[in-house]
Structure 1
Amino acid sequence: MSQSAPFNRREFIQKGTAALSAIALSASSLRGAPAIIKSLGRPDSKFAGVQIGVISYSFRSLPCNAEQLLKYCIDCNISAIELMGNTGEAFAGAPHASTEPMKFTPGPRPQRTPEQEAEQKKKDDETAVWREKASMDAFTKLRKMYNDAGVSIYAWKPNALGEKNTDAEIEYALRSAKALGATHVTVELPNNPEQSKRLGKFADKHKIGVGYHGHLQQTFDAWDVALAQAKYNGLNCDIGHYVAAGFDPIPLIEAKHDRIYSMHIKDRKSKDNGGDNMPWGEGNTPVASVLQLLKKNKYKFPATIEMEYPVPDGSDAVKEVAKCVDFCRKALEKAS
Structure 2
Amino acid sequence: MNNRREFLIKSVLGTAGLALGTTSLVNGAPAIIKSYNKPNSKINGVQIGCITYSFRSLADQSAEATLKYVTESGISAIELMGGPAESFAGIPESSMNRGRYNELGRKKRNGGKLSSDEEKELGELQKEASAYAATVANWRAKTDFKKFEKFRKMYKDAGVSIYAFKPSTFGRDNTDAEIAYGMKAARALGASHVTLEHPADDARTLKLGKMGEKNKMSVGYHGHTQQTFDFWDTALAQSPRNAMNLDAGHYIAAGFTDIISLIEKQHKRILSMHTKDRQTLANGQNNLPWGEGDTPIVELLSEIQSKKYKFPATIELEYKIPEGSDAVKEVQKCLEYCRRSLA
TM-score norm. by structure 1 comes to 0.85
1:78 maps to 75
Determine which of 100, 125, 140 is the counterpart of 2:134: 125
1:259 maps to 269
Letter in 1 for 2:164: A
- Whether the 8 Å CA contact 1:262–1:302 is kept in 2: the answer is yes
TM-score norm. by structure 2 comes to 0.83
Deviation at 1:96, TM superposition (A): 2.7
Letter in 2 for 1:71: K
Measure, in 1, the Cα distance between the counterparts of 2:237 and 2:50: 28
Instruction: Please state if 1:305 is matched with 2:315.
Output: yes
Deviation at 1:225, TM superposition (A): 0.6
Letter in 1 for 2:242: N
Determine which of 41, 44, 51 is the counterpart of 2:37: 41
Determine which of 46, 57, 60 is the counterpart of 1:50: 46
Alignment coverage as a number of residue pairs? 300
Give a deviation string over 1:177-217, Cα, whole Å, max 9, x none: 00000000000001111110110011011221100000011
Measure, in 1, the Cα distance between the counterparts of 2:289 and 2:221: 25
Deviation at 1:16, TM superposition (A): 5.6
2:31 maps to none
Letter in 2 for 1:261: L
SS of 1:163 mapped into structure 2: coil
2:148 maps to 139
SS of 2:278 mapped into structure 1: coil
SS of 2:106 mapped into structure 1: coil
SS of 2:273 mapped into structure 1: strand
SS of 2:342 mapped into structure 1: helix
Measure, in 2, the Cα distance between the counterparts of 1:224 and 1:65: 37
1:285 maps to 295
Letter in 2 for 1:305: I
Structure 2: gaps (5+ residues) = 1-7, 17-34, 109-120
Measure, in 1, the Cα distance between the counterparts of 2:314 and 2:127: 36
SS of 2:277 mapped into structure 1: coil
2:184 maps to 175
Instruction: Please state if 1:190 is matched with 2:175.
Output: no
Measure, in 2, the Cα distance between the counterparts of 1:310 and 1:195: 34
- Whether the 8 Å CA contact 1:218–1:241 is kept in 2: the answer is yes
Determine which of 59, 65, 68 is the counterpart of 2:65: 68
Percent sequence identity is 53
Measure, in 2, the Cα distance between the counterparts of 1:235 and 1:189: 9
Distance 1:48 1:87, change over 3 A: same
Instruction: Please state if 1:219 is matched with 2:215.
Output: no
SS of 1:64 mapped into structure 2: coil
Measure, in 1, the Cα distance between the counterparts of 2:136 and 2:202: 26
Larger Rg over CA atoms: 2
Measure, in 1, the Cα distance between the counterparts of 2:317 and 2:104: 20
Letter in 1 for 2:143: A
Runs of at least 4 residues off by over 3 Å: 13-17, 105-108
Distance 1:16 1:122, change over 3 A: farther
Measure, in 2, the Cα distance between the counterparts of 1:97 and 1:224: 38
Letter in 2 for 1:110: K
